[in-house]
Amino acid sequence: MGFEVAEAIAQEYGAALVRRSHGVVGSAMIGNHEVHLLLPQTFMNESGLAVAEFVRYNPVQYPAGLIVIHDELDLEPGVVRVKVGGGLAGHNGLKSIVHHIHTQNFVRIRVGIGRPVGRPSVVDYVLQRPRPEDRTELDAAVQRGVCAVRDVIEVGPERAMTEYNRRVG
Protein backbone atom coordinates (compact mmCIF):
# COMPACT_ATOMS: atom_id res chain seq x y z
CA MET A 1 0.00 0.00 0.00
CA GLY A 2 2.89 2.34 0.71
CA PHE A 3 4.10 1.98 -2.87
CA GLU A 4 0.62 2.66 -4.23
CA VAL A 5 0.38 5.88 -2.21
CA ALA A 6 3.91 6.96 -3.19
CA GLU A 7 3.21 6.24 -6.87
CA ALA A 8 -0.05 8.23 -6.65
CA ILE A 9 1.89 11.15 -5.09
CA ALA A 10 4.42 10.96 -7.94
CA GLN A 11 1.65 11.00 -10.52
CA GLU A 12 -0.38 13.78 -8.89
CA TYR A 13 2.60 16.06 -8.27
CA GLY A 14 4.60 15.26 -11.40
CA ALA A 15 7.57 13.40 -9.93
CA ALA A 16 9.53 11.30 -12.41
CA LEU A 17 10.58 8.09 -10.66
CA VAL A 18 14.02 6.68 -11.50
CA ARG A 19 16.04 3.72 -10.21
CA ARG A 20 18.93 4.53 -7.84
CA SER A 21 20.97 2.06 -5.79
CA HIS A 22 18.52 0.55 -3.25
CA GLY A 23 15.37 2.27 -4.47
CA VAL A 24 13.27 4.14 -6.95
CA VAL A 25 13.35 7.88 -6.22
CA GLY A 26 11.73 11.08 -7.38
CA SER A 27 11.17 14.68 -6.34
CA ALA A 28 8.12 16.93 -6.48
CA MET A 29 6.77 20.13 -5.04
CA ILE A 30 3.86 19.84 -2.62
CA GLY A 31 2.79 23.37 -1.87
CA ASN A 32 6.01 25.27 -1.20
CA HIS A 33 7.88 22.16 -0.06
CA GLU A 34 10.26 20.06 -2.10
CA VAL A 35 9.45 16.43 -1.40
CA HIS A 36 11.67 13.44 -2.14
CA LEU A 37 10.05 10.06 -2.71
CA LEU A 38 11.65 6.67 -2.11
CA LEU A 39 10.26 3.28 -3.01
CA PRO A 40 12.78 0.80 -1.55
CA GLN A 41 13.76 -2.01 -3.89
CA THR A 42 15.14 -4.21 -1.14
CA PHE A 43 13.15 -6.97 0.49
CA MET A 44 10.57 -5.37 2.80
CA ASN A 45 12.36 -6.62 5.92
CA GLU A 46 15.52 -4.80 4.73
CA SER A 47 13.86 -1.55 3.65
CA GLY A 48 15.86 0.26 6.32
CA LEU A 49 18.97 -0.12 4.12
CA ALA A 50 17.33 1.98 1.41
CA VAL A 51 15.92 4.51 3.88
CA ALA A 52 19.28 4.95 5.65
CA GLU A 53 21.07 5.51 2.35
CA PHE A 54 18.36 7.93 1.25
CA VAL A 55 18.48 10.08 4.41
CA ARG A 56 22.28 10.12 4.25
CA TYR A 57 22.07 11.95 0.91
CA ASN A 58 18.81 13.82 1.61
CA PRO A 59 19.14 15.01 5.22
CA VAL A 60 15.80 15.25 6.99
CA GLN A 61 14.61 16.81 10.21
CA TYR A 62 12.71 14.42 12.45
CA PRO A 63 9.88 13.77 12.85
CA ALA A 64 8.09 15.58 9.99
CA GLY A 65 10.99 15.31 7.55
CA LEU A 66 10.59 11.56 7.15
CA ILE A 67 7.17 10.13 6.34
CA VAL A 68 6.92 6.35 6.03
CA ILE A 69 3.79 5.03 4.34
CA HIS A 70 2.96 1.42 5.14
CA ASP A 71 0.25 -1.19 5.30
CA GLU A 72 -1.33 -1.88 8.69
CA LEU A 73 -2.89 -5.21 9.62
CA ASP A 74 -4.55 -3.74 12.71
CA LEU A 75 -6.69 -1.33 10.68
CA GLU A 76 -9.64 -2.36 8.52
CA PRO A 77 -9.07 -2.21 4.76
CA GLY A 78 -9.12 1.37 3.56
CA VAL A 79 -8.69 3.11 6.92
CA VAL A 80 -5.86 5.69 6.98
CA ARG A 81 -4.22 6.95 10.18
CA VAL A 82 -1.28 9.26 10.93
CA LYS A 83 1.16 8.51 13.73
CA VAL A 84 4.45 9.91 15.00
CA GLY A 85 6.83 7.45 16.62
CA GLY A 86 5.46 4.67 18.77
CA GLY A 87 5.64 0.91 18.61
CA LEU A 88 6.39 -1.17 15.55
CA ALA A 89 3.55 -3.70 15.94
CA GLY A 90 5.72 -6.50 14.55
CA HIS A 91 6.09 -4.74 11.17
CA ASN A 92 9.42 -5.97 9.82
CA GLY A 93 9.83 -3.06 7.42
CA LEU A 94 9.47 -0.58 10.28
CA LYS A 95 11.85 -2.63 12.44
CA SER A 96 14.46 -2.45 9.68
CA ILE A 97 14.03 1.30 9.25
CA VAL A 98 14.41 1.93 12.99
CA HIS A 99 17.44 -0.38 13.12
CA HIS A 100 19.19 1.48 10.30
CA ILE A 101 18.31 5.11 11.13
CA HIS A 102 18.42 4.68 14.92
CA THR A 103 15.15 6.45 15.70
CA GLN A 104 11.43 5.70 15.83
CA ASN A 105 10.72 9.42 15.71
CA PHE A 106 9.26 9.74 12.22
CA VAL A 107 5.79 10.19 10.78
CA ARG A 108 3.86 7.12 9.66
CA ILE A 109 0.93 7.06 7.30
CA ARG A 110 -0.75 3.76 8.16
CA VAL A 111 -3.01 2.28 5.47
CA GLY A 112 -5.29 -0.46 6.75
CA ILE A 113 -5.35 -3.82 5.01
CA GLY A 114 -7.08 -5.80 7.77
CA ARG A 115 -6.12 -9.21 9.05
CA PRO A 116 -6.25 -12.33 6.88
CA VAL A 117 -9.50 -14.28 6.99
CA GLY A 118 -9.10 -17.84 8.20
CA ARG A 119 -5.59 -19.06 8.97
CA PRO A 120 -3.34 -18.04 6.06
CA SER A 121 0.17 -16.88 6.82
CA VAL A 122 0.37 -13.16 7.59
CA VAL A 123 3.47 -12.92 5.36
CA ASP A 124 1.60 -14.51 2.44
CA TYR A 125 -1.40 -12.27 3.07
CA VAL A 126 0.69 -9.07 3.08
CA LEU A 127 2.56 -10.03 -0.09
CA GLN A 128 -0.45 -11.15 -2.14
CA ARG A 129 -2.76 -8.94 -4.14
CA PRO A 130 -5.67 -7.54 -2.13
CA ARG A 131 -8.99 -9.37 -2.20
CA PRO A 132 -11.30 -7.98 -4.89
CA GLU A 133 -13.91 -7.10 -2.25
CA ASP A 134 -11.33 -4.85 -0.50
CA ARG A 135 -10.09 -3.10 -3.67
CA THR A 136 -12.65 -0.26 -3.63
CA GLU A 137 -11.77 0.68 -0.04
CA LEU A 138 -8.05 0.38 -0.75
CA ASP A 139 -8.26 2.57 -3.86
CA ALA A 140 -10.01 5.24 -1.78
CA ALA A 141 -7.37 4.78 0.94
CA VAL A 142 -4.61 5.48 -1.59
CA GLN A 143 -6.18 8.88 -2.28
CA ARG A 144 -6.65 9.52 1.47
CA GLY A 145 -3.00 8.55 1.93
CA VAL A 146 -1.94 11.13 -0.66
CA CYS A 147 -4.01 13.75 1.17
CA ALA A 148 -2.56 12.67 4.53
CA VAL A 149 1.00 13.10 3.24
CA ARG A 150 0.11 16.51 1.81
CA ASP A 151 -1.46 17.54 5.13
CA VAL A 152 1.54 16.37 7.19
CA ILE A 153 3.76 18.46 4.92
CA GLU A 154 1.55 21.55 4.77
CA VAL A 155 -0.01 21.74 8.27
CA GLY A 156 2.26 19.47 10.32
CA PRO A 157 1.94 16.00 11.82
CA GLU A 158 -0.04 17.03 14.92
CA ARG A 159 -2.85 18.67 12.95
CA ALA A 160 -2.84 15.83 10.44
CA MET A 161 -3.15 13.29 13.28
CA THR A 162 -6.09 15.22 14.70
CA GLU A 163 -7.81 15.16 11.32
CA TYR A 164 -7.14 11.58 10.20
CA ASN A 165 -7.27 9.78 13.51
CA ARG A 166 -10.78 10.97 14.35
CA ARG A 167 -12.24 9.85 11.01
CA VAL A 168 -14.28 6.73 10.60
CA GLY A 169 -12.40 5.80 7.39
What would the pLDDT profile of 30-45 be if each residue is shown by its tens digit?
999 999 999 999 988 8
Mean pLDDT of the chain: 88
- Cα separation, 140 vs 38, in Å, equals 22
Q: What is the pLDDT of residue 169?
A: 54
What mean pLDDT comes out for the span 41-57? Answer: 90
Burial class (CB in 10 A: 0-12, 13-18, 19+), 146: buried
Q: Report the alpha-carbon distance of residue 97 to residue 47 in Å, rounded.
A: 6
Mean pLDDT, to the nearest integer, of 40-51?
90
Beta-carbon count within 10 A of 165 CB: 12
**Burial tier of 94 (Cβ tally within 10 Å: 0-12, 13-18, 19+):** buried
pLDDT over threshold 70, residue 24: yes
pLDDT attached to residue 88:
86
Note the pLDDT of residue 117: 74
What confidence score (pLDDT) does residue 127 get? 63
pLDDT at 19: 93
Do 89 and 70 touch, CB atoms closer than 8 A?
A: no
Question: In this predicted model, what pLDDT tens digit does every residue of 91-148 receive, in sequence order?
Answer: 889 999 999 999 999 999 999 888 777 766 776 666 667 777 778 888 999 999 999 9
CATH of the domain at 103: 3.40.50.1470
pLDDT at 154 over 90: yes
Q: What's the domain count of the chain? A: 1
**CA–CA distance, 145 with 9 (Å, rounded to integer):** 9
pLDDT of residue 105: 92
Task: Give the structural domain span for 132.
Answer: 2-165
User: What is d(CA 34, CA 27) in angstroms, rounded to the nearest whole number?
Assistant: 7
The whole-model pTM stands at 0.89
pLDDT at 68: 96
Task: Return the higher-pLDDT residue of 84 and 118.
Answer: 84
Closest CA to 37 of 86, 19, 105, 165: 19
